[in-house]
Amino acid sequence: MLLDDGITFIEGENHGHYPYSNSLLIKDKVTALIDAGIGKSIEELAKKEKVDLIIHTHSHEDHIGGDDFFRSEIAIHSLEAPILEKLERLADLYGLESEEMISFIRGFFRHESLRVDHKFEDGYIFCLGDIQFRAIHTPGHSVGHTCFFENERKILFSGDIDLSSFGPWYGALDSRIDDFISSIKKVKALRPQVVISSHKGVILDDIDDKFDVYLAKIYEREGRILSYLDSKKGRTLDSIVSQAFIYGKFPEVLHSWFVLMERIMVEKHLERLIEMGEVGRTGDTFSSL
């Protein structure tokens, strides 16, 4: 899908739904690709296009699994670079111990590491010719997650600030809810006219409202957790996780992984609610205040 002269949306397999993701191809003096997930669309693109530079939003497997199809230089935020340089660190980032889940992650890659040619920081401008994208550091989903903004055309590649119906995902050990909230507000304030989401596709209408609905998911989850907690009888972490307030239900495939991700996200909510003075902890139980 051509968005503007030299800027093309590349839809990932299955409409970019995980474990696939969407990408953006920029053809100017430099040909650049923002993110390279796995799937047929990326494999076919690699056969047709000589990509000089792959620019990554972050280091999660669904965004970097297709890097090996290209002979390109690779750029990523400096805080994300250590993951690309030693991909097994992804399993540690997710707190994975199950061999089934570790094998699933490893299945995305043909090598154990990727070479990082460029480590950038917030505000770095990729001058690709007439087209320029500015790096907007947006932590929360991951510590170095980055969006990319083309100011003249008001195009935002929002990565995993993905405006999906699921809402924000912060199930990695380096995720932070407060950072995610700030990052959503930060990119909304740019007033983009086009948003390219890693998993939702191209968004042209009601963009401000979609950011608001997406952000509200965080507060809705906290509301459900608070409603479940009792002021007199404490709830254990396991009992809270079993309610699946975030995922809704746990699929049979990789069931233990989804339970782990739910657990990590619930723990982050509980830490935040304790800091806000809305939840108390006594031993291994949590209660509303």
pLDDT in tens, the chain (289 residues): 889 999 999 999 999 999 899 999 999 999 999 999 999 999 999 999 999 999 999 999 999 999 999 999 999 999 999 999 988 888 888 888 767 667 777 777 776 788 999 999 999 999 999 999 999 999 999 999 999 999 999 999 999 999 999 999 999 999 999 999 999 999 999 999 999 999 999 999 999 999 999 999 999 999 999 999 987 889 999 999 999 999 999 988 888 889 999 999 999 999 999 999 999 999 999 999 9
Q: What is the token pair recorded at 146? A: 């980055």
How does DSSP assign 240-252, residue by residue?
A: HHHT-TTTSS--S
pTM: 0.94
Distances in whole angstroms, Cα of residue 167 to Cα of each of 180, 211, 214, 287 = 11, 10, 5, 25
Q: Which CATH class is domain 2-214?
A: alpha beta
| For the chain, domain boundaries | 2-214, 229-288
Dist CA 221 CA 87 (whole Å)? 31
186-218 as b/e: b if 16+ CB within 10 A: bbbebebebbbbbbbbebeeebeebbeebbebb
Return phi, psi of residue 213, to 5°. Answer: -65, -40
Q: What is the token pair recorded at 99? A: 């061999």
